[in-house]
């Protein structure tokens, strides 16, 4: 991974443990973006066909990377926008199961509408609790983040896959913003019906781009009202033939912004998503062991077999300031400090953070 670390100038300034806030941009992406805009300056409207191809290729690239049918991929500016469009097409008489303190943009989208909502507390055995609720009550929709934004708590993907087999009529909606790009993921075999993700975090694509992925079955359960000329590919006679995913794209899309997502996914493929997955597994296991030794993790996180690379350590304002003063990029979240690692981080950097926490140096 060392040769790829050279792509990220911010890594020269300190230890970047803040991907959960913003994924790093990098030199080769900047080069592509500059060349893209230079072409527009030189060629003007003659770039239109090339720009449209970038958008089409981005949709195919997203589908390939996450194993989702191309026609079931929607390109959206962010997860929040995509989820709001989706829920406008869901009958308000549905019973929803949410997790307390999940990402606000996820829970708020349901709470703003007239759904009947049931909540679960985040516990070590959250999967068992979900099973229990589904066996006792009629739940139509389960919506949750695959990785929790506050502390990196990770839902067992095999559990979701099995859950769908047990409850085939259950609609499973997932927020993948703190997940997509951190590890391998097979959407079509996940049991998830709709997954949305903003791409500016773990996919390293910058602001303004993201995707929604859909199963074939979900299309019959939502009645969408979003529409626009772009959704019909600019064809006047195609207004009533717009496919489900394209209804999330009513207006023109930026080839610069979505082309950046395409470029980053191809960058990940160049590195090897298996290598990224393995590196992040090592970072997660290393951080878990070291932070547990210091007694800095909650019982809920410490009791899990699998965890992401996001950790919320018990830390006050003084500890946060100590990390900042020692050039550690991190964020205050809840009652602690959130540290988040990606493939461009090293185990040595985790050791350095531990030393700072112990000694302040």
pLDDT digits (tens), the chain, 361 positions:
778 999 999 999 999 999 999 999 999 999 999 999 999 999 898 888 999 999 999 999 999 999 999 999 999 999 999 999 999 999 999 999 999 999 999 999 999 998 999 999 999 999 999 999 999 999 999 999 999 999 999 999 999 999 999 999 999 999 999 999 999 999 999 999 999 999 999 999 999 999 999 999 999 999 999 999 999 988 999 999 999 999 999 999 999 999 999 999 999 999 999 999 999 999 999 999 999 999 999 999 999 989 999 999 999 999 999 999 999 999 999 899 999 999 999 999 999 999 999 985 5
pTM of the entire predicted model: 0.96
Distance, in Å, from the CA atom of 87 to the CA atom of 223, rounded to the nearest integer, reads: 9
Distance, in Å, from the CA atom of 206 to the CA atom of 257, rounded to the nearest integer, reads: 8
Give the pLDDT confidence of 235-246 residue by residue, as tens digits: 999 999 999 999
Which domains are assigned to the chain? 2-25+273-359 (3.90.1150.10), 33-270 (3.40.640.10)
170 SS3 class? coil
Task: Write down how long the chain is.
Answer: 361
Distance, in Å, from the CA atom of 55 to the CA atom of 33, rounded to the nearest integer, reads: 14
Q: Are 211 and 67 in contact (CB under 8 A)?
A: no
Q: Are 96 and 115 in contact (CB under 8 A)?
A: yes
Alpha-helical segments (H) within 112-254: 126-136, 157-166
CA-closest candidate to residue 121, choices 96, 146, 145, 101: 101
**Count of CB atoms situated within 10 Å of the CB of 329:** 20
Give the pLDDT confidence of 113-149 residue by residue, as tens digits: 989 999 999 999 999 999 999 999 999 999 999 999 9
Q: Which burial class, exposed, middle or buried, applies to 114 when counting CB atoms under 10 A from its CB (0-12, 13-18, 19+)?
A: exposed
32 SS3 class? helix
The pair of three-digit structure tokens given for residue 356, joined into one six-digit string: 């700072």
Distance, in Å, from the CA atom of 340 to the CA atom of 284, rounded to the nearest integer, reads: 9
């Amino acid at each position: 991974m060392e040769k790829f670390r050279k792509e990220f100038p911010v890594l020269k300034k300190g230890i970047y443990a803040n991907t959960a806030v913003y994924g790093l941009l990098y030199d080769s992406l900047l080069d592509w973006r500059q060349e893209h805009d230079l072409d527009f300056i030189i060629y003007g409207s003659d770039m239109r066909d090339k720009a449209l191809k970038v958008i089409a290729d981005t949709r195919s690239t997203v589908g390939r990377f996450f194993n989702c049918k191309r026609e079931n991929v929607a390109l959206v500016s962010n997860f929040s926008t995509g989820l709001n469009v989706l829920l406008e097409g869901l009958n308000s008489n549905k019973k929803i199961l949410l997790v307390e303190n999940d990402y606000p943009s996820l829970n708020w989208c349901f709470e703003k509408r007239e759904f009947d909502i049931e909540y679960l507390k985040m516990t070590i055995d959250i999967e068992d609790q979900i099973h229990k609720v589904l066996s006792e009550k009629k739940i139509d929709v389960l919506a949750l983040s695959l990785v929790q934004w506050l502390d990196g708590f990770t839902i067992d993907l095999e559990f979701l896959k099995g859950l769908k087999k047990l409850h085939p009529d259950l609609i499973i909606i997932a927020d993948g913003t703190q997940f997509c790009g951190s590890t391998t993921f097979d959407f079509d075999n996940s049991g998830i019906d709709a997954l949305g993700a903003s791409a500016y975090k773990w996919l390293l694509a910058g602001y303004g781009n993201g995707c929604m992925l859909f199963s074939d079955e979900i299309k019959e359960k939502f009645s969408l009202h979003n529409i626009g000329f772009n959704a019909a590919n600019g064809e006047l006679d195609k207004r009533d033939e717009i496919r489900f995913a394209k209804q999330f794209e009513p207006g023109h899309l930026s080839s610069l912004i979505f082309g950046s997502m395409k470029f980053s996914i191809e960058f990940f493929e160049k590195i090897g998503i298996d290598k990224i997955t393995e590196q992040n597994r090592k970072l997660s296991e290393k951080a878990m062991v070291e932070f547990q030794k210091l007694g800095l993790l909650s019982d809920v996180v410490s009791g899990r077999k699998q965890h992401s690379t996001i950790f919320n350590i018990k830390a006050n304002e003084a500890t946060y300031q100590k990390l900042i003063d020692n050039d550690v990029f991190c964020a205050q979240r809840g009652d602690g400090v959130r540290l988040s690692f990606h493939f461009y981080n090293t185990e040595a950097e985790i050791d350095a953070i531990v030393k700072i926490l112990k000694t302040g140096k």
